[in-house]
Amino acid sequence: VTRRALTTFLAVGVALWFLPDLRGVVDFPLFYLLFLYTTFFWIAQASSWNVLSGYTGYFSFGQAAFFGVGVYTSAILVNRHGWDFFVTIPVAGVASALLALGVGGLAFRLRQLRGEIFALLTLAVSFILASVARFSPAIDGGQGIAISPPDAPGFLGGFNDMIFRLALVIGLLAVGGAYAIQHSRFGWGLFSIRDDEGVAEGLGVPTFRFKMAAIAVTGFLAGISGSVHSLQIGYVTVEDVFSLNLALFVILMSILGGRNHWLGPVVGAVFVFTMQDRLASAGFERWSQIAIGSILVLMVLFARDGLYLRLRARIRTVAAAFVVVFVLSSLLGVGGSVFDHLLFAMFAGILVALVPAAWLRPLRRTALAPDEPAPADADVPVVEAAGSLDPSAAVGPEERS
Amino acid sequence: VSIYVQSAISGLLVGGIFAMMAIGLSLVWGMLKVVNIAHFALILLGGYLTYQLAATTTLDPFLTLLFSVPAFFVVGVAMQWVFERFDVRHFNSLLLSFGLFIIVIRVISNIWSADFRRLPAADNPYATQSIIVGDFAFQLPMLLAFVTAVVISAAVAVALRRTYFGKALRAIGHDPQVAAAFGIDARRMGLLLGGFASATGALAGTFVGVSSSLFPGQAVEWIGLVFTVVIVGGVGNLLGAVVAALIVGIVSGLASVAWGASAAPIVTFVILIVALLFRPYGLFSRGAAT
């Protein structure tokens, strides 16, 4: 972990921390805070998923299980046992991590529980937890649990400011954790497991311990994020908490953004959530799942390595497209809010990132600039660049230190 | 005691429907290495098609199969063509078909709404019929599904052992490259098999539409159960899947009588996890079959 990265994370954190206070100065709608809260929530969940599933290639469909244990731990401790909410956050994280270790202990003992079988096993775990929660009155019993907002210390502000700040801290923790892991020996070990577990084992990577550690990190982050989310939803029910949607969204976000890099899930989370929110507010709620399913299909067919590396490879063109479309859209007033313009601009950026290199060539002074990625139909080199043995190969020399 | 026997019987018959669903899934997973979650969406779509056709015309619900089986065969061939063309297998096929699953389910609930739909009794002579043996009732549609599942899986098992087509398919499932070296056109076989699997989905859908109410969320509930059945039975092993479906059906039928309906899924998934841990290649397999 470099000092520069640390200061960047801190600066972003501090800047966003005081954002709610700005509302006294430039009166923006409360909705903006809620929007950002949910964005942070998804960033935390997607990054959490990516530590295990993106880095090691063990795809989990069980995100809802880890999230749900976090949600229910906080809800039960606060509602039934009168605990202080802030104490329950780490407890929820630890509970989720323990569940994760249990799942890992079962699954990682057997070599054949890879690929689709591991995915189905984790899916089964979240189905089981849902049935257990519905069945047992000590947990839920089908009634749902209400959780009331705690008395927050003054520096966190009112309820909306508080959950915004909590989500911000957890989101930064998740992204920072993913960053730190990617740039450590641990991260290299995880990437080597993804590439070839047998070879990794042979070269002395303690694969079992690394996988256990990765799934514990995934569980812990999903759990603390779920704990805070229980406050946001206020009334916890089995159907909402253990729905398949959560796993679907984090998988989609990470695949869309790119699973080989810590920023991939962040990019994916911002885009998918903005799109879903805009579709819902424009009254196309019925179509948002169709859009999400279609994106998943298209990504698997045409861009399995995700957007992030492509975005980075033509960062200037993408940024230009983003700014131009954003400004145009704001000037013309297409749609209603800032988020509509943001969505259009993101779409433009992504389109530019996905266009085959040949189409961009006329726009360039030289036929093939050195930062040009391979054409979109030749996926292999891009995947290779994602860093099989050296995860920081994906980061590029300027970010290393 | 008789309530336990009756619930074991209903569980057994429900197991027949799950066996019917598992056939298509197990075949393409075992032979083509495609994990097709979209199969569940197709089954549900088949149910709705039966509902729509039988309710708007005077057709017998089972005659709607004349339309849905060929249509689904074409859909299955098209899907397999895409999987083949883009080399989508194993985990990627799970992801891709999950995307398709979401789309189809959403389209279904946009067309038919999220409410329960049930064939009106006038259009559906089978719903209320049962065969009574002693004190116990066998509901007719489920009995039919059960018999069909057994017949199809037995026929496929025989075909896989005896016919050229079946032997070629098993060769592909075992090692596509070597199979190709022996002159087997894996691509065309795959397309046919994909079409066949999807056509069994139309059949399963009709049984669902005839025997129970339809709602879009149903398909999600099937996923866990049917995957349990496929894995416990051994991927690609149809007779294994049928036996596993009956075991799962009976056990969850008994569990829901003993501890209430919400306990049934717990028992099912405990079976799945135990099976994964101790017999990961299926109950009836001696070694690494897949």
Q: pLDDT per residue over A203-233, tens digit each?
A: 999 999 999 999 999 999 999 999 999 998 8
Of A59, A127, A294, the CB nearest to B269: A127
What the block records as the tokens of B104 is 């189809």
Name every chain A residue with its beta carbon within 8 A of the beta carbon of B107: 290
Q: What pLDDT digit, counting tens, does each position of A281-321 carry?
A: 887 777 888 888 888 898 888 888 888 888 888 888 888 88
Q: For residue A373, is pLDDT > 70?
A: no
Q: For residue A377, is pLDDT > 60?
A: no
What is the secondary structure of chain B as a DSSP string?
-HHHHHHHHHHHHHHHHHHHHHHHHHHIIIII-B--THHHHHHHHHHHHHHHHHHHS---GGGGHHHHHHHHHHHHHHHHHHHHHTT--HHHHHHHHHHHHHHHHHHHHHHH-SS-B---GGG-TTTT-EEEETTEEEEHHHHHHHHHHHHHHHHHHHHHHHSHHHHHHHHHHH-HHHHHHTT--HHHHHHHHHHHHHHHHHHHHHHHHHHS-B-TTHHHHHHHHHHHHHHHH-TT-HHHHHHHHHHHHHHHHHHHHHH-GGGHHHHHHHHHHHHHHH-TT-TT-SS---
Q: Which amino acid, residue B254?
A: L
For tokens 């054409």, what's the residue? A375
* pLDDT score for B282: 73
Of A120, A131, A286, the CB nearest to B227: A120
Give the strand pairing for A145-146 and A235-236. antiparallel
The alpha-carbon gap from A12 to the nearest alpha carbon of chain B, in Å, equals 34
Chain A interface, best mutation among B89, B91, B235, by max A CB count within 10 A? B91
Grouping H, G, I as helix, E, B as strand and the rest as coil, residue A373 is coil
Highest-pLDDT range among A109-118, A224-233, A287-296, A351-360:
A224-233
Model-wide pTM > 0.95: no
Print pLDDT tens along chain B (290 aa).
788 888 888 888 888 899 999 999 999 998 888 989 999 999 999 999 999 988 888 788 888 889 999 999 999 999 999 998 888 888 888 889 989 998 999 999 989 888 888 888 777 777 777 777 777 777 888 888 889 989 998 998 899 889 888 888 888 888 888 888 888 888 888 999 999 999 999 999 999 988 888 988 888 888 888 888 888 888 888 888 999 999 988 988 888 888 877 777 788 888 887 887 777 777 776 544 44
Tell me the average pLDDT of chain A: 83
* pLDDT score for A399: 41
Q: For residue A363, is pLDDT > 70?
A: no
The alpha-carbon gap from B53 to the nearest alpha carbon of chain A, in Å, equals 25
The alpha-carbon gap from B237 to the nearest alpha carbon of chain A, in Å, equals 16
Q: What pLDDT digit, counting tens, does each position of A6-31 carry?
A: 888 889 888 888 888 887 777 778 88
ipTM of the complex as predicted: 0.86
What is the secondary structure of A116-177 as a DSSP string?
HHHHHHHHHHHHHHHHHHHH-TTTTTTS-EE-PPP---GGG-SHHHHHHHHHHHHHHHHHHH
**What is the total residue count of chain A?**
401
A357 against A105, higher pLDDT: A105
What the block records as the tokens of B40 is 């569940």
Chain B interface, best mutation among A131, A254, A292, by max B CB count within 10 A? A131
Q: Where are the alpha helices (DSSP H) in A258-394?
A: 263-281, 285-302, 308-313, 315-332, 338-354, 357-360, 379-385
Name every chain A residue with its beta carbon within 8 A of the beta carbon of B99: 292-297, 300
Residue A95 sits at the vertex; the CA angle it makes with A92 and A100, to the nearest 5 degrees, is: 125
Q: What is the mean pLDDT of residues A158-163?
A: 86
- Contact: A293, B101; criterion CB under 8 Å: yes
CA A260 vs. chain centroid, Å, equals 13
* pLDDT score for A1: 59
CA B276 vs. chain centroid, Å, equals 20
- Cα distance between residue A233 and residue B183, in whole Å: 60
Given a contact cutoff of 8 angstroms between Cβ atoms, the answer to whether B79 and B198 are in contact is yes
* pLDDT score for A113: 65
* pLDDT score for B12: 87
- Contact: A297, B99; criterion CB under 8 Å: yes
- Contact: A120, B231; criterion CB under 8 Å: yes
- Report the residue of chain B nearest A61, measured CA to CA: B95
